[in-house]
């Protein structure tokens, strides 16, 4: 499985990337929402995107809205991974189309579980 | 958020994502001095206005960055150091914002060498602070509230 990690922090992309690779998946990285859309439009097939909220140029919520609005990528599983911890933010992200929401800080196990839940949630919505 | 909550929050972040193998010890802020090597901040604006800052010794910042990047010791360059510091401020700031009542927004984090130079302009009062050491290296977290009417 190929996982797109969208976060403006290289350090956080590195942390998440190592965990994802440990789970046996490949990673692709983007530093903000616009770059993520470029990656999605490229030749590589992306299976799921892990999306930070606070990023320059295009934030995570805007990215989720853009992905869901594009018929080509609308079925992509999306997992928000962010330090935004208010329930209002979680609701906003889910209403915009995120499949799951993971708050930073998180443990390795929490990331693995949320990754599976996001994939399952999207599969259920598509069924 | 009070000091105990801030300390618990910092310990959660430390153990989950920073340096769980290097215990974080609480320390009296006055025993740690003011002269930290690196500082990172994030602004909170809205129903509550202020700054969350994290300052630490360079050796500790390098160790945090090394672990986040999965690099060998000595492989961390200046940009890595600042990126890791910004993310630490973002982690703390986001969780502090989550504990505040009312709607607030978080700025993008910033980091620099030196202590306090990133804080707004001195127009804030310390609402809460906690100092720590890890293997003898110092770290301080502060929540500074902007003065009323500014």
Query: Residue range A41-55: average pLDDT?
Result: 94
Dist CA B48 CA B90 (whole Å): 17
Which three-class secondary structure state does DSSP give residue B122? coil
Query: How confident is the model at residue A37, as a pLDDT?
Result: 97
* Best residue of A10, A11, A58 to probe chain B, by most B CBs closer than 10 Å: A11
B28-75 pLDDT, tens digit per residue, is: 877 777 789 999 999 999 999 999 999 999 999 999 999 999 998 789
What CATH number is attached to the domain comprising B7?
3.40.1550.10
**Residue in chain B nearest A90 by alpha carbon:** B98
Q: Which residues, listed in sequence order, are joined to residue A26 by a DSSP beta bridge? A: A2
**Residue in chain A nearest B90 by alpha carbon:** A83
Which three-class secondary structure state does DSSP give residue B146? strand
Dist CA B70 CA B114 (whole Å): 25
> Cβ separation of B68 and A14 shorter than 8 Å?
yes
> Cβ separation of A105 and B16 shorter than 8 Å?
yes
For the cut 70, the answer to whether the pLDDT of residue B21 exceeds it is: yes
Q: How many domains does chain B have?
A: 1
User: B101 vs chain A: nearest CA distance in angstroms?
Assistant: 10
DSSP labels, A77-119: -EEEEES---HHHHHHHHHHT-SEEEESS--HHHHHHHHHHHH
Query: How confident is the model at residue B120, as a pLDDT?
Result: 56
- pLDDT band per the 50, 70, 90 thresholds, residue B106: very high
Dist CA B123 CA A62 (whole Å): 33
Chain B residues with CB under 8 Å of a chain A CB are: 12-13, 16-17, 65, 68-70, 80, 83-84, 86-87, 90-91, 93-95, 97-99, 103, 106, 108
> Cβ separation of A85 and B97 shorter than 8 Å?
yes
What residue numbers bound the domain in which A67 lies?
2-126
B122-136 pLDDT, tens digit per residue, is: 678 889 999 999 999
| CB < 8 Å to B40, chain A | none
Asked whether the ipTM of the predicted complex exceeds the cut of 0.85, the reply is: yes
Its pTM stands at: 0.93
What residue numbers bound the domain in which B119 lies?
3-146
User: A77 vs chain B: nearest CA distance in angstroms?
Assistant: 24
Q: How many domains does chain A have?
A: 1
> Cβ separation of B91 and A83 shorter than 8 Å?
yes
């Amino acid at each position: 499985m190929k996982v797109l990690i969208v976060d403006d922090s290289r350090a956080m992309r590195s942390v998440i990337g190592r965990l994802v690779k440990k789970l046996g998946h490949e990673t692709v990285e983007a530093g903000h929402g616009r770059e993520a859309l470029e990656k999605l439009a490229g030749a590589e097939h992306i299976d799921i995107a892990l999306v930070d909220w606070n990023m320059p140029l295009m934030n995570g919520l805007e990215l989720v809205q853009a992905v869901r609005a594009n018929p080509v990528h609308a079925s992509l599983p999306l997992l928000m991974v962010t330090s935004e911890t208010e329930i209002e933010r979680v609701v906003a992200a889910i209403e915009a189309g995120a499949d799951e929401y993971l708050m930073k800080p998180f443990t390795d196990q929490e990331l693995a579980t949320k990754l599976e839940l996001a994939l399952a949630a999207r599969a259920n919505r598509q069924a | 958020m009070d000091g105990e909550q801030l300390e618990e929050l910092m310990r959660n972040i430390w153990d989950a994502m920073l340096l769980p193998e290097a215990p974080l010890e609480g320390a009296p802020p006055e025993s740690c001095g003011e002269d930290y090597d690196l500082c990172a901040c994030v602004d909170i604006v809205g129903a509550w206005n202020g700054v969350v800052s994290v300052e630490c010794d360079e050796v500790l910042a390098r160790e945090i960055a090394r672990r986040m990047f999965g690099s060998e010791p000595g492989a961390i360059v200046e940009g890595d150091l600042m990126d890791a510091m910004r993310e630490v401020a973002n982690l703390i700031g986001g969780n502090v914002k989550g504990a505040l009542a009312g709607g607030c927004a978080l700025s993008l984090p910033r980091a620099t060498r030196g202590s306090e130079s990133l804080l707004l302009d001195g127009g804030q009062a310390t609402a809460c602070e906690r100092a720590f050491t890890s293997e003898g290296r110092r770290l301080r977290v502060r929540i500074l509230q902007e003065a009323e009417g500014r």
